[in-house]
A = this chain, B = another copy of it.
Amino acid sequence: MSTRPPIRRRPLDGITVVGLEQAISAPLCTRHLADLGARVIKVENPGFGDSTRHYDTVVGGMSAHFVWLNHGKESVTLDLKAEADLGVLNRILQTADVIVSNLAPGALGRLGLGTDELAQRFPRLIIVDISGYGTGGPLDHKRAYDLLIQSEGGSCAITGTPGHPAKPGIPAADIGTALYAYSSILAALYDREKTGRGAIIPIAMLDTVAEMMGFALNGYLHGGTEPEPVGMGSPMIAPYGAYPTADGQTAVLGTTNDREWSRLATMIGRSELADDPRYAHNDDRVRERAALDAVVGEWCAQRSLADIQKLADEAGIGNSRLNTVADLAQHPQLAERGRWRDIGTPSGPVPALKHPALARDWEVRSGWVPALGEHTEAVRAEFG
């Protein structure tokens, strides 16, 4: 049994990451590496930089997206088509542990930075090459943004209502890709400790969306059914949805198995439904979704949200509230648990959420959102 006290630490202290990055996927990946202590050198093109810098100006002149994705990094502007600047990048790579790129297809190769060349020159380097569609196949030349990949990958078709597909508001293709890139880098760092070798990790956004669609793919491949989007419900389970309450709010209730269904039926005073063979199992209930939604909806319409949530908690039925973004920003569950910290920006400190999966002994690292090229001179001097 250990009696050693915890030591506060950042697991990626000493790791250097180069981001040839733009938009969401690569920047979120490298931001999380920075959260864990890595030094992240974000390489941007002079003058314009990462396109998310220009989405809006709401955060003291910086954009909502850029601030979310880029705190804790150094911004270095390099014109990679100019030999001198490409030389700076190559010298940075001599000491770097990781390079993450999501530039347009072929861009790295044209700079002499193709993944095979990099791996030859830097055998301990972990090289992550994010693209929309990977290498090979009819689409590998195509540009990729979140909406495009979520559309191509079927995610929009199972969101919304029948005949009215919708893009999930969360950029799931970008974020999924970011998290697969982030995790594969961590796996590669662990692997490198054992083998001394780096890694080439190609990640296609379409593949990450396809993985996230795994349940729907299996349903189609084996059941032959195309899931219809069902608004606030889930195509795979029922009853599960959002129901207006007597006090003008929206309760969200769900059941995921037969035992919960039985408890729900009892809670709404309709215990005879629990024994009705039409609703016995989840696939039965999915077929009878409309009828069950009507029954649950009628019960909710006669009660306040607070009453519904209290009764549902007592019955062991999962429940929540349909919140706006404003509700989330003010959510007591985030505030009371100390989930916010301040990060620095050129216009002063702003709140940001802590990394969602820090070990208790790891330090919370709160960095700075860099202006375009803010660290260019210092990095040029260091690697000149």
Contact = CB atoms under 8 A, between A and B. Distances in A.
A350 interface: yes
A252 interface: yes
A16 interface: no
A327 interface: yes
Contacts of A381: none
Interface string A222-258: 1100110101111111001110000000101010111
B186 A187 contact: yes
B160 A160 contact: yes
B1 A120 contact: yes
A206 interface: yes
A107 interface: no
A311 interface: no
A130 B60 CA distance: 36
Contacts of A282: 54-56
A288 interface: no
A327 B231 CA distance: 21
B169 A59 contact: no
A159 B169 contact: yes
Contacts of A2: 120, 123
A82 interface: no
A2 to B, nearest CB: 3
Interface string A166-178: 1111111001100
Contacts of A252: 147-148, 151-152
Given A136-B336, A152-B331, 4 more contacts: A155-B168, A155-B170, A160-B160, A210-B328
9 closest Cβ pairs, A-B complex: A158-B169, A168-B168, A2-B123, A58-B223, A68-B214, A64-B218, A186-B186, A199-B359, A179-B179
